[in-house]
Amino acid sequence: MNQVVVAPDKFKGSLSAPEVAAHVAAGLRRARPDVDVREVPVADGGDGTLDATLAAGFTRVPVTASGPTGEPVTTAYVRQGDTAVVELADVSGLSRLPGRRLAPLIATSFGTGEVIRAALDDGCRTIVLGLGGSACTDGGAGMAQALGVRLLDEHGDDLPPGGEALTRLATVDVSGVHPAVGEADIVVASDVDNPLLGKHGAAGVYGPQKGADAEQVELLDAALARWAEVLERDAGVAPATATLPGAGAAGGVGFAALALLDAKLRPGIEYLLDLVGFHRQLTGASLVVTGEGSLDEQTLRGKAPAGVADAARAAGVPVVAVAGRCLLPHAALHAAGFAGAYALTDIEPDQRRCVDEAGPLLERLAEQRLAAIIDTDTHLEETR
Model pLDDT for residues 253-294, shown as the tens digit of each residue: 999 999 999 999 998 899 999 999 999 999 999 999 999 999
Sequence-distant (6+) residues with CB within 8 A of 65 are: 72, 73, 75, 91, 110, 111, 112, 114, 115, 118
pLDDT value at position 192? 87
Q: How confident is the model at residue 383 (pLDDT cuts 50, 70, 90)?
A: very low
Mean pLDDT of 83-92: 97
Angle at 6 between CA 359 and CA 326, to 5 degrees: 60
User: What is the pLDDT of the chain when averaged over all its residues?
Assistant: 95
pLDDT value at position 298? 87
pLDDT value at position 384? 41
Question: In this structure, are residues 14 and 355 in contact, taking their beta carbons and an 8 Å threshold?
Answer: yes
pLDDT value at position 377? 59
Q: What is the pTM of this model?
A: 0.93
Q: What is the phi/psi pair of residue 49, to 5°?
A: -65, -40
Tell whether the model's pLDDT for residue 197 goes beyond 70: yes
Task: Look at 303 and 251; give whichever has higher pLDDT.
Answer: 251
Where are the strands (E) in 183-266, listed by range?
A: 185-189, 264-266
Sequence-distant (6+) residues with CB within 8 A of 256 are: 109, 139, 140, 141, 143, 144
Mean pLDDT of 167-180: 97
pLDDT value at position 116? 98
- The tens digit of pLDDT for each residue in 7-41 reads 999 999 899 999 999 999 999 999 999 999 999 99
> Which domains can be identified in the chain, with CATH numbers?
3-42+277-373 (3.40.50.10350), 49-268 (3.90.1510.10)
Where are the strands (E) in the chain, listed by range?
A: 3-6, 36-39, 59-66, 72-80, 83-87, 126-130, 150-152, 171-173, 185-189, 264-266, 287-295, 319-326, 340-343
Angle at 371 between CA 14 and CA 377, to 5 degrees: 120
pLDDT value at position 378? 54
Of 107, 110, 283, give the one whose Cα is nearest residue 212: 107
Q: How confident is the model at residue 132 (pLDDT cuts 50, 70, 90)?
A: confident
Q: How confident is the model at residue 214 (pLDDT cuts 50, 70, 90)?
A: very high
pLDDT value at position 1? 59
What is the spatial distance between Cα 370 and Cα 347, in angstroms, rounded to a whole number?
13
Q: How confident is the model at residue 382 (pLDDT cuts 50, 70, 90)?
A: very low
What is the spatial distance between Cα 137 and Cα 202, in angstroms, rounded to a whole number?
7
- The tens digit of pLDDT for each residue in 292-313 reads 999 999 898 878 999 999 999 9
